[in-house]
Chain A
Amino acid sequence: MNPAGTSEQIRRAWAIAKKDIRIYYSKGPVLIFGIFMPVFLFLAFYLGGRQLPLPFLLSGLVGMTLFFTSTAVSPAIFPWEGQAKTLERLAACPVTIEAIVLGDMIASVLFGIGVTAVTLLIGLSLGLVLLHGIVFGSAVLLAAVCFSALGMLLAVPPTNVPSNIMMLSSLLKFPLVFISGIFVPLEQMPAWGTALAVFSPLTYFADLVRYSFTGAHYFPVTVDITVLALFTLIFSAGTMRLHRRTMPRRI
């Protein structure tokens, strides 16, 4: 066994993910927030009088669910652990910072996918038809990683006050939802809207989800997947690099 080897570090990242799920994700309020938040957003919009087709709204709901759940908890884990001094424990263990970040990301991916699966089942029971299962499956997997990395990226500022980070991440997450073609199809957006939308990873995921359920899409599927993969790579590499720099300042 080489403790510093990649496979051993990944195994240890998995231990961190299990710990996260046990401590941070299986709390009642977190689960309730994860499930109800997108439902309420969706209801507010649906009842708000916009006459959009149900499949469009449902696919938006699925997209939002994954986005909100996989960025819900991950930004707060580092501040929590910094405050509880458990981060010092992890830092003294033979795991790299990359493995710690990866572990937090894995937990957030699993949580995101789990809650999204529930939302999908609700959608299916409301008459939503899944046309492109493979595209949907790969899109969810890729986007879950992408959003989890984004969530971790939001945790980079070395504050140990979770509410600061939560505020910051809400400030970023809500505008993203509005420019990403969830509530307004990209085709109906003004030019400045689409110009903004291309910078949001959620746009491509929402486009893929819409394609999976309605067959309609704005960008070609390969473009959606490629861009989403690029965002994932950049976010993952960026968050690991930045945490390497800021983590010692939390201790």
Chain B
Amino acid sequence: MIEVADLTKVFGTVTAVNRVSFDVREGEIFGFLGPNGAGKTTTTRMLTGVIPMDGGSARIFGYDIRREPVLAKQRFGVVPETSNAYVDLTAWQNLMLMGELYGLDRARAKERSRDLLETLGLYGRRDQKVKGYSKGMKQRLILAMALLHEPELLFLDEPTGGLDVQSTQMIFSMLRTLNDAGTTIFLTTHNMEEANRLCDRVGIIRSGRIVAIDAPERLKTAIDRVHRIEVSFDRVVPARALAGLDGVAGASRRGDKWLITAEDRDRAIRSLVAFSGDHGAQILTLHTLAPSLDEVFLRLTGEGGL
């Protein structure tokens, strides 16, 4: 759905985006993560045809965004980083303007606008100028403006920056619903918690370069050479028996639990299960202690990373 190859953007002496390549598949939620100034917004702007690229290529729905920008833009929606509805217009007027810019017929635009404003809790304030809106209301309106023409693909650049928990939840749950209905989503966010829960895959960018692209869980397991498993049994088991299991590198007691270290987590778990069967020791709890996406992110984007 999105195919990016060697995408590059240079501002003066700063290479903001440096030969970035990735694909986003149809129907997935792709998280684009990176520290401040990493080049996320610049990448998003190039992909959405807002600024020209200095090198590489981007195809959206198979359209080259440079050659056929209008055809590509017709089918995707954008929530840009900075809130930008027309503040001198009302929410309703902003939506009608979007309807015309996307070539929707009037009746359809009205119907969609009413539905979206109701879903996002703005219908009662539709005739108020956006000037009087709070940040969260503006952001919800901008989401409505991006969704009016029922895009197959949605770009969002930090849609929840600076919003309270309710607005954040409302936006993320809307994204989940949209994705369930088939919308592909390209999401830039600093909210690791949500990225972890929402995204099928994430790409991590640092100083203009992609440092990792994978499913969140795979990223988490990939960064640690040694994995940790916490297990507890319904009876006392000898440490030596555990430590000697296939795939287990070490075992130490932590209260009524065991902390197992392993180089191959899959093999270690299989051995533990087999051990439980062989010794008649029931497993009470078993946790794999993976680092959080936050830790992955810090590791990959920190000074010492990679």
Number of interface residues of A (CB under 8 A): 28
- Chain B, range 58-83, C-beta contacts under 8 Å to A: 68-71, 73-74, 78, 80, 82-83
- Chain A, range 66-104, C-beta contacts under 8 Å to B: 84-86, 88-96
Q: With a CB–CB cut-off of 8 A, which chain A residues contact B102?
A: 93-94
Number of cross-chain contacts by CB at 8 Å: 82
C-alpha gap A219/B89 in the complex (Å): 46
C-alpha gap A89/B146 in the complex (Å): 9
Quick one: which of B48, B50, B86 has the most chain A CB within 10 A?
B50
Q: With a CB–CB cut-off of 8 A, which chain B residues contact A187?
A: none
User: Are B50's CB and A91's CB within 8 A?
Assistant: yes
Q: Known contacts being A3-B71, A88-B80, is A248 close to B50, with CB within 8 Å?
A: yes
C-alpha gap A166/B97 in the complex (Å): 27
User: Are B84's CB and A88's CB within 8 A?
Assistant: yes
User: Are A248's CB and B89's CB within 8 A?
Assistant: no
Q: With a CB–CB cut-off of 8 A, which chain B residues contact A210?
A: none
Q: Does A237 contact B (CB under 8 A)?
A: no
Q: Known contacts being A4-B71, A22-B93, is A92 close to B86, with CB within 8 Å?
A: no
User: Are A85's CB and B103's CB within 8 A?
Assistant: no
Q: Does A251 contact B (CB under 8 A)?
A: yes
C-alpha gap A23/B85 in the complex (Å): 12
User: Are A12's CB and B82's CB within 8 A?
Assistant: no
Q: Known contacts being A88-B80, A93-B73, is A23 close to B49, with CB within 8 Å?
A: no
Q: Known contacts being A85-B80, A88-B84, A89-B84, is A23 close to B103, with CB within 8 Å?
A: no
Q: With a CB–CB cut-off of 8 A, which chain B residues contact A248?
A: 50-52
Q: Does B101 contact A (CB under 8 A)?
A: yes
Q: Known contacts being A12-B103, A248-B50, A248-B51, is A92 close to B82, with CB within 8 Å?
A: no
User: Are A94's CB and B70's CB within 8 A?
Assistant: yes
For A93, the closest partner residue in chain B by CB is: B101
A243 CB → nearest B CB, Å: 13
C-alpha gap A91/B84 in the complex (Å): 12
Number of interface residues of B (CB under 8 A): 30
Q: Does A1 contact B (CB under 8 A)?
A: yes
C-alpha gap A51/B98 in the complex (Å): 55
- Chain A, range 7-32, C-beta contacts under 8 Å to B: 8-9, 11-12, 14-16, 18-19, 22-23
User: Are A94's CB and B73's CB within 8 A?
Assistant: yes
Within 8 Å by CB of A88, from B74, B82, B86, lies B82
User: Are B84's CB and A85's CB within 8 A?
Assistant: yes
Q: Does B217 contact A (CB under 8 A)?
A: no
Q: With a CB–CB cut-off of 8 A, which chain B residues contact A91?
A: 49-50
For A16, the closest partner residue in chain B by CB is: B101
Q: Does B194 contact A (CB under 8 A)?
A: no
User: Are B51's CB and A23's CB within 8 A?
Assistant: no
Q: With a CB–CB cut-off of 8 A, which chain A residues contact B88?
A: 22-23
Q: Known contacts being A3-B71, A19-B97, A248-B52, is A92 close to B78, with CB within 8 Å?
A: yes
C-alpha gap A94/B78 in the complex (Å): 11
Could you name 15 residue pairs across A and B whose Cβ atoms are closer than 8 Å?
A: A3-B70, A3-B103, A11-B100, A12-B100, A16-B101, A19-B86, A22-B89, A88-B84, A91-B49, A91-B50, A92-B48, A92-B78, A94-B71, A95-B70, A95-B101
Extra pairs beyond A85-B83, A93-B102 (14, CB < 8 Å): A3-B70, A4-B68, A4-B70, A4-B71, A11-B103, A16-B101, A18-B97, A19-B86, A22-B88, A90-B101, A92-B48, A93-B98, A94-B101, A248-B52
Interface residues of A (CB under 8 A from B): 1, 3-4, 8-9, 11-12, 14-16, 18-19, 22-23, 84-86, 88-96, 248, 251
